[in-house]
Amino acid sequence: PRETGRQQMQEARTLLKKYFGYDDFRPGQEKLIAGILQGRDILGILPTGGGKSLCYQIPALMLQGLTLVISPLISLMKDQVDTLRELGIAAEKIDAQTDLDRYHEIMAAARSGQLKLLYIAPERLGQEGFLRALKQLDLGLVAIDEAHCVSQWGHDFRPSYRQIAASLADLKPRPVFAALTATATAQVQKDIVSGLSLEDPLIYVADFDRPNLYFNVLAPANRKKTLLSLLADGQCAIVYCATRRTVEDVCDYLNNQGVATVPYHAGLPAQDREANQEAFINDRVQVTVATNAFGMGIDKPDVRRVIHYNIPKNMESYYQEAGRAGRDGAPAEAVLFFHAADIMTNLFLISQSYEPDARRKLNAMLGYVYTGTCLRQYLLHYFQPDREKTGPCGHCAICDGRIQTSDVTQKAQMVLSCVIRMGQRYGTSLIIDVLRGANTNRIRTEGFNHLSTYGLLAKSSKGEVRDIMTLLAAEGYLAVVGEDYPVLKVTEKSRALLQGKVQLSMNRPFKERTNQVELATE
């Protein structure tokens, strides 16, 4: 079997090159694919952008029969199916938009063995007719994307994921189950194994760390000028912006300043996008300015810098985009521009959409901007909270002292006590007003001017108190809850801070920071 194992992996590598154009598997992909080909269930935990889809797409091409892919997001399904079809791989999806004729066509193709991959949403498994049809198929592999949705501990719990195992339990012969996710806590791992009834799975947890990346957060007074000086060393870079308009604006600016730059966003005609991408990959231009549409399917290993001109909406997007720097393992830099107005826009959009999960994720992202501790530690702790705590990394802007930090433990304690004294029923603005000793009607009527915490932070600016509260929320010392409007409550964790058992430090993003790192040029 070892010999056939090696042959199979050789074939897998051939297919990787033939269909996807890549020379090597990423760490993890190889182990997980080998596991599947040996007929073992697998659980793969890889960061976003780590290449989870190939882990089942390659085996799907090699195994007998159909691969069923269960995915929670219609947009994700569409992207994947489109990409696979462009590569000449027989893939289909069934979703709410699929009409009955099309549905029968797809199922017929599946029965005839023409189809290699079939994507469905988990809810589909609740339909008797579909399950009956499924039982007549030769099913080699069931891949469950975003497998953490089965866990109630995760933040994206989907009840329909709980039904997957039962719905597919009496398939004969039993297909191999491949579960994939980017959520890396031990609890979620356990839930996935039991919730999906994986049998003695091969588990691979990728190390989320990217040691060659230097992390930096800047708060430039003039973003364009700072950007220009960052790019002055001529090294190849991607600049991510939040909107198409900003992309065009920044791109024009750089070209006017003599930096060869191309734009990339979904509003450009396909042939322009392709040409721009081509120019960047072949080093005919130094910089791509892009929205988050750029990156899908792009593998340029020697990008030296990824600069975020606007703050991304969550850490997952940030780490995925920043991770496009330094794929070759050589030193590279990930810079995040912090811009107060940007943050207000984000907070506003999120308060409008009122999606608690989006708010939680944005808070974590803001925490990265505000944290006074090692940026790498902060990132890794977010993605791998069970990871053994290592010391500060020595290779980020906080560790090497480029970012000034200050101890805010005492002020944070004042904020927490004030939240408690006010009864944990109010939002940020009122708490700030009480802490700063504002003399308003509301405060007098509620009697908050008699609290011992009233006016404790009279000398701090509104912005500073808000920053501290954002940091507290981001680090889990304050919970943002509430039905109609966000209310702040203290958490289990707050006690240690109130008792002075932990310290809290914060960076000072509102002061201009234009610290720069020189990347080694050879």
List contacts with Zn ion (CB under 5 A).
374, 376, 392-393, 396, 399
Q: Which is nearer to Zn ion, 207 or 274 (CB)?
A: 207
Report, in Å, the least distance between residue 211 CB and ligand ADP.
19
Q: For residue 387, give the nearest of 372, 373, 376 by alpha carbon.
A: 376
Q: Indicate which single residue of 50, 59, 323, 372 sits in contact with ligand ADP (rule: CB under 6 A).
A: 50
Kindly state whether residue 95 participates in binding ligand ADP, applying the rule CB under 6 A.
no
SS3 state at 218: strand
Kindly state whether residue 165 participates in binding ligand ADP, applying the rule CB under 6 A.
no
Kindly state whether residue 422 participates in binding ligand ADP, applying the rule CB under 6 A.
no
Q: Which is nearer to Zn ion, 32 or 374 (CB)?
A: 374
85-122 burial, b at 16+ Cβ within 10 Å, e below that, comes to: eeeebbbbbbeeeeeeeeeeebbebbeeeebbbbbbbb
User: Position 71: which residue type?
Assistant: S
Q: Which two tokens stand for residue 433?
A: 């007003």
15-54 burial, b at 16+ Cβ within 10 Å, e below that, comes to: bbeebbeeeebeebbbbbbbbbbeebbbbbbbbbbbbbbb
Kindly state whether residue 48 participates in binding ligand ADP, applying the rule CB under 6 A.
yes
Kindly state whether residue 65 participates in binding ligand ADP, applying the rule CB under 6 A.
no
The binder of 289, among Zn ion, ligand ADP, none, by C-beta within 5 to 8 A per type, is: none
SS3 state at 148: helix
Residues of span 452-481 touching ligand ADP by CB under 6 A = none
* φ and ψ at residue 37, rounded to 5 degrees: -65, -25
Q: Indicate which single residue of 11, 19, 22, 358 sits in contact with ligand ADP (rule: CB under 6 A).
A: 22
Q: Indicate which single residue of 12, 15, 34, 46 sits in contact with ligand ADP (rule: CB under 6 A).
A: 46
Q: What does the DSSP assignment read for 348-392?
A: HHHHHHT-HHHHHHHHHHHHHHHB-S-HHHHHHHHH-TTSPP---
Q: For residue 200, give the nearest of 222, 174, 230 by alpha carbon.
A: 174
Q: Can you tell me which residue has the tokens 């289990």?
A: 492
The binder of 244, among ligand ADP, Zn ion, none, by C-beta within 5 to 8 A per type, is: none
Q: Which is nearer to ligand ADP, 25 or 370 (CB)?
A: 25
The binder of 31, among Zn ion, ligand ADP, none, by C-beta within 5 to 8 A per type, is: none
Kindly state whether residue 210 participates in binding ligand ADP, applying the rule CB under 6 A.
no
Q: Do 329 and 342 contact (CB within 8 A), yes or no? A: no
Report, in Å, the least distance between residue 54 CB and ligand ADP.
5
The binder of 399, among Zn ion, ligand ADP, none, by C-beta within 5 to 8 A per type, is: Zn ion
Helix (H) or strand (E) holding 240: strand 237-240
Kindly state whether residue 53 participates in binding ligand ADP, applying the rule CB under 6 A.
yes
The binder of 393, among ligand ADP, Zn ion, none, by C-beta within 5 to 8 A per type, is: Zn ion
Q: Which is nearer to Zn ion, 14 or 515 (CB)?
A: 515
Report, in Å, the least distance between residue 373 CB and Zn ion.
8
Kindly state whether residue 323 participates in binding ligand ADP, applying the rule CB under 6 A.
no
* First-residue to last-residue Cα distance in the chain: 46
C-alpha distances out from residue 250 to 155, 259, 272, 293, 345, Å: 36, 11, 18, 16, 19
Q: Which is nearer to ligand ADP, 46 or 81 (CB)?
A: 46
Size of the site for ligand ADP (CB under 6 A): 16
The binder of 307, among ligand ADP, Zn ion, none, by C-beta within 5 to 8 A per type, is: none
Q: Indicate which single residue of 11, 40, 49, 313 sits in contact with ligand ADP (rule: CB under 6 A).
A: 49
Q: Which two tokens stand for residue 118?
A: 């079939």
Round to whole Å and give the CA distance between 24 and 14: 10
Q: Which is nearer to Zn ion, 399 or 472 (CB)?
A: 399
Round to whole Å and give the CA distance between 212 and 329: 6
Report, in Å, the least distance between residue 273 CB and ligand ADP.
15
Q: Which is nearer to ligand ADP, 48 or 417 (CB)?
A: 48
Q: Which is nearer to Zn ion, 93 or 513 (CB)?
A: 513
Q: Are strands 305-308 and 237-240 parallel, antiparallel or unpaired?
A: parallel
Residues of span 292-311 touching ligand ADP by CB under 6 A = 296-297, 299
Q: For residue 104, give the nearest of 113, 114, 94, 91 by alpha carbon.
A: 94
Kindly state whether residue 19 participates in binding ligand ADP, applying the rule CB under 6 A.
no
The binder of 374, among ligand ADP, Zn ion, none, by C-beta within 5 to 8 A per type, is: Zn ion
Q: Which two tokens stand for residue 510?
A: 């509102």
Q: Indicate which single residue of 28, 36, 45, 51 sits in contact with ligand ADP (rule: CB under 6 A).
A: 51
Binding site for ligand ADP (CB under 6 A): 22, 24-26, 29, 46, 48-54, 296-297, 299
